[in-house]
Homo-oligomer: A and B are copies of this chain.
Amino acid sequence: MGTKAMDPRKSNSTPTTPFFLLFSLFFLAASHDHHPLDALTPFEQTQVQTIVKSLYQNVTFHYVGLDEPDKAAVLSWLSSPQTNQIPDRQAFVIARADSQSHEIVVNLATKEVVTDKVYDGSGYPTLTFDEQTAASQLPLTYAPFLASIEKRGLVSDQVFCGSFTVGWYGNDASKRVVSLMCYYINGTINFYMRPIEGITFTVDLDEMKIIGYRDRVVVPVPKADGTDYREAAQKSTFDNHLKSITILQPDGPSFTVEGHTVRWANWEFHVAFDMRSGPIISLASIYDHNEDEYRRVLYRGFISELFVPYMDLTEEWYYRTFLDAGEYGFGQSAVPLQPLRDCPENAMFLDGYFTAQDGTPAKISNVFCLFERYAGDIMWRHTEAALPGDVVTEVRPDVSLVLRMVSTVANYDYVIDWEFKQTGTIKVTAGLTGLLAVRGSIYTHKDQIMQEEYGTLLAENVLGPRHDHFISFHLDLDIDGEANSLVKAKLQRVRMTDGRSPRKSYWRVVNETAKRESDAKIHLGSGATEILVTNPNKRTKVGNDIGYRLIPRTVASRLLANDDYPQKRGAFSKYNVWVTPYNRSEKWAGGLFVDQSHGDDNLATWSLRYSHYCSLSPREGKIINLVPYVRGSKC
């Protein structure tokens, strides 16, 4: 952490107490032995920058992250970290030079470029902040736009624009373009509520030039009044007058962080920050008190892609079908967590580093927080009042560990929690908050609406378009070892017809082990089926399977047609669960190059490829893509 990192994201300076300072010091002072799964340090990122810049005169960096070592090498090292060779640190880079996308692997031990492949498929890399900022400033000196602004009676110095990916609709996608949407700030910071509709921009990012412009229709800009969400701007009557409440740990927290390995209660896991996916949990293992050893649960888990298609088919909105991780970088979009607000008083904070467009490491302070969670809930209890003597009451309060990150992608704030419970459960939550993306409209009352407008009128001149959020989690579960099976435990009614019993029915469980990829494409909620990942080579003492159950919460499935362009790109949303054999290169459910991609190299297409010749042999590892879902607000 020696290099001073340039921080293009302005940070909110938050007051720190001596308590937090103490924690920072503790973290820095702890011995920092490299772990092969550690994220690249700022120093390593700078090395990458130097090496790659020596290859090309003008190069932009779109992704820099750890080139994950092969699992076998990691497990080998892990078996004896003191003596075994740590796999060479390598970086994987997606860069642009001469209008070409490069996939570059750099060996940081030898300082050599291992591979440099020019990508010749569909799609482009993740957008950088710098190019988005530059693109969004182009309108302010673009004469046709200034005329459009004037026509609408607006002042240009109150106009602010943002960039949006365009997807792919069968068109020629040989230029790397984005569209722009402009907003009117005047009188509020909540510019998302004041869109300037009816205008389409196409910006060529490589040329950094407006190459298309259309002012189709004038639509009223919704008013500023009542849109400011800042606490200080609220009427005092909105205060619910709550007294202070805090979570205290007088003796400090129970977890330790050594390098990037977290230990708490009966859990141990490694955590890393990645600029595309955010938090990566590795080697999550649970301590078995009986055997006095850690047992592996999750080798690697991270957000693999998000798919956010809007259902608004108007001219300026139809193409809005975002893939937030691959297009915007879910990790680089993370924001500094605010102590006492985003995380409770007993939280510890960790910084993260992404790579800016010019290859410089960029710090996000407080990108993760780690805290013990106590909501006042009960983990287990029993009251026994039946026996003679005193009533026996046994209660174990529920205390768990949470690793949290918040990513703000334009208007939406995603709260990602990885929660580790003492019962052995890993609970992953994606919370959606922030602001809706709204379309300005002529309507001031619902009764005026006589045609499909694709959403709900939320306020005068403000339509809230319907949309979905699908989040795909890549889970490499290694329950007690690498050879796992996916089992569908089907609950089936059995009718009794022979009159042997006064009962006429019961239900039983029939286990089906998935043999082929296609067996393991699962729609949740379509029947009484439980999804298990078992280790068929291990048994409990009395002979039962060892495994974990995947427990979904609210389940929903995608509604877009399979042949609709956005659905081809976000095809991972077709099923809630997919299983593929372990393949280190197949990490991103929407594909590696997602912006403007054709959807021809993603989880769905890999799955087709496999279904013909691969079986889900228990001897191979499995990757599980779990696609929980949040239905976009229809208000």
Contacts and interface: CB of A to CB of B under 8 A. Distances in A.
A88 to B, nearest CB: 36
Interface string A500-513: 01111111110000
A424 to B, nearest CB: 12
Contacts of A312: 506
B561 A495 contact: yes
Interface stretch (A89-97, A120-128, A450-458): A450-458
A402 interface: yes
A609 interface: no
A544 B247 CA distance: 40
A566 B503 contact: yes
A542 B459 contact: yes
Contacts of A491: 559, 631
B240 A244 contact: no
Interface stretch (A144-152, A335-343, A616-624): A335-343
Contact of A247 (B376, B525, B557): B376
Count of chain copies: 2
Nearest to A458: B542
Contacts of A460: 542
Interface size bracket, A side:
35 or more
A307 B552 CA distance: 23
A344 interface: yes
B10 A561 contact: no
A431 B423 CA distance: 15
Query: Interface centre among A235, A446, A502, by most B CB within 10 Å?
Result: A502
A520 to B, nearest CB: 21
Given A382-B433, A433-B380, A507-B559, A189 B372 contact: no
Nearest to A344: B376
Interface string A406-435: 101011010100000010000000010111
Contacts of A413: 381-383
Nearest to A539: B446
B504 A372 contact: no
Interface string A438-464: 000000111100001010111110000
Looking at chain A's contact residues, is the secondary structure mostly helix, strand, loop, or mixed? loop
A556 B528 contact: yes
Contact of A376 (B266, B343, B381): B343
Interface stretch (A108-116, A295-303, A391-399, A474-482): A391-399
B266 A561 contact: no
Interface stretch (A60-68, A71-79, A251-259, A572-580): A251-259
A493 B561 contact: yes
Interface of A: 9-12, 160, 162, 169-171, 185, 189, 191, 229-231, 235, 237-238, 240-254, 265-266, 289, 292, 311-313, 318-319, 335-336, 338, 340-344, 346-347, 371-387, 390-397, 399, 402, 406, 408, 410-411, 413, 415, 422, 431, 433-435, 444-447, 452, 454, 456-460, 466, 489, 491-493, 495-496, 501-509, 525, 528, 539, 542-544, 551-557, 559-561, 563-567, 631, 634-635
Q: Which are the 5 A-B pairs with shortest beta-carbon distances?
A: A446-B543, A344-B376, A375-B375, A341-B395, A169-B502
